[in-house]
A and B are shown apart, each in its own frame.
Chain A
Amino acid sequence: MPDVTDINGLVGRTPVVRLDRIEPDGQRVELYGKLEWANPGGSIKDRIALAMVLAAEKEGRIAPGRTTIVEATSGNTGIGLAFVAAARGYELVITLPQGMTRERETLLRLFGARVEVVESLGGMTEAVEAARQLASGDDVWMPDQFVNPANPAAHRRTTGPELLEQLDQRIDVLVAGIGTGGTITGVGRALKAVDEKTLVVGVEPASSAVLSGEPAGPHRIQGIGAGFVPPVLDRRVVDEVIPVTDDDAIEAAWSTARRCGVLGGLSSGAALHAALQVAAREESRGKRIAVILPDGGERYAAVPFFQPR
């Protein structure tokens, strides 16, 4: 009998696949993708959703049936929290600004989450404010993924060691997008603890390249590019940040789907584009490159700009 008593037991231990058909010719690099959409909620965010909840339980701050969890997110973190909360018996409220796609809202509601749409002049500011106000009430807790140390800790403890085990403890280059910075901080730390020479490459949207010193701006690469330097990010772990345009991210997602049968989402495309840039460098000859693919392309199948041309 499988030793899994609830869905949360299925978070993590995602597969790694070689992407040899997009590796640049003559470079003898090995490119591996970690398929995070194999998590039960469909993205890498399942890891931190579960970890943040378990950490708060351990500290005694929350308990099922007593605490309501509140977070402002229109991304995968909401979906991760939704199934974790459902399986552990928490009420969950997600605040969203007006004008979000109904599809996300539906997905959240299917897991029993309450979705509060907040009057907004633009962006998430009002939604975050509304979540903060709710969270200051009794028995209400806000995970706050941008500052919660359980976020990078989850990747230090699970994603990083998994990768090392799957790739025989040898990884020359890690490529990962930066949203909250939790993935790159946690996985980067795990990899550098084994080999401090591992090159850790972050990825951000070119039109909001805040970590490269550019101003924040609109972009389409959901999951990365918060528009500010997130507190969770440890920049000492990151050796380099590569900005990627929306079009290059989409193109890389498409070509990897067509040539390898691996359909990643927008941030996966951005990471793949950056990984191929690194792979083409002279000094990358013979290197083993691991790239984190945070969610799958199916989640964007209805998004107009993701439609194949």
Chain B
Amino acid sequence: MLSITAKSPYAVQALTELGRAGGTTTPVPVAELARRRDIPGQFLEQLFATLRRAGLLRSQRGVHGGYLLTRDPREITILEIVEMLDGPLGQDSVGIFADVAEAAREVLASTSVQDLIDREAREQGQTMYWI
């Protein structure tokens, strides 16, 4: 099916924030990520547990604990994240919908978490200079 649930956009938001703020070196608590991106905390904890089991995240305990990315944000595609949470995208689609699924996969596979971090930085920068 060609379905992307609320899990994927929330996780992409949280991972973009994690990539921007902590990346692979500084752990960030899940509650902090949820607060910064306005995501329900418990829901995000569930999503992060899934992503940790899938090997995308690792957690670090302690006072300065939190989650870390296991790979550089440049190497994590949005398609990976979507498929970890919502399953294979467009697997059973046929005809025109198979084409739609293929196009969607292509966009998501060619975009990395780093691309989204860069895009946000650009958008924030550009809004300041429309003079």
Contacts and interface: CB of A to CB of B under 8 A. Distances in A.
Interface string A144-158: 010000000000000
B130 A75 contact: yes
Nearest to B128: A227
A218 B130 contact: no
Contacts of B126: 74, 97, 99-100, 122-124
Interface stretch (B30-38, B62-70, B92-100, B115-123): B115-123
Interface residues of A, number: 29
Chain A: interface secondary structure? loop
A178 to B, nearest CB: 10
B124 interface: yes
Task: Please provide the 8 A-B residue pairs with the shortest distance between their CB atoms, ordered closest to farther.
Answer: A123-B125, A222-B130, A122-B125, A218-B124, A124-B129, A122-B121, A75-B130, A179-B131
Interface in A184-225: 208, 216, 218-220, 222-225
A145 B131 contact: yes
A171 interface: no
A124 B125 contact: yes
A218 B131 contact: no
A75 B131 contact: yes
Interface of B: 118-119, 121-131
Nearest to A100: B126
Nearest to A228: B128
A133 interface: no
A121 B122 CA distance: 6
Interface centre among A123, A220, A223 (most CB of B within 10 A): A123
Contacts, number: 66
B97 to A, nearest CB: 27
Interface centre among B124, B125, B130 (most CB of A within 10 A): B130
A97 B127 contact: no
A122 B127 contact: no
Contact of A77 (B118, B121, B127, B131): B131
A300 to B, nearest CB: 10
A216 B127 CA distance: 12
A67 interface: no
A221 to B, nearest CB: 9
A284 interface: no
A75 B127 CA distance: 10
21 contacts: A74-B126, A75-B129, A75-B131, A97-B122, A97-B125, A98-B122, A99-B126, A122-B118, A122-B121, A122-B122, A123-B126, A123-B128, A123-B129, A124-B125, A124-B126, A124-B129, A179-B131, A219-B128, A220-B127, A222-B127, A223-B130
Given A73-B129, A99-B122, A225-B128, 16 more contacts: A75-B129, A99-B126, A120-B122, A121-B122, A122-B121, A122-B124, A122-B125, A123-B129, A124-B129, A125-B125, A145-B131, A216-B128, A218-B123, A219-B127, A222-B127, A227-B129
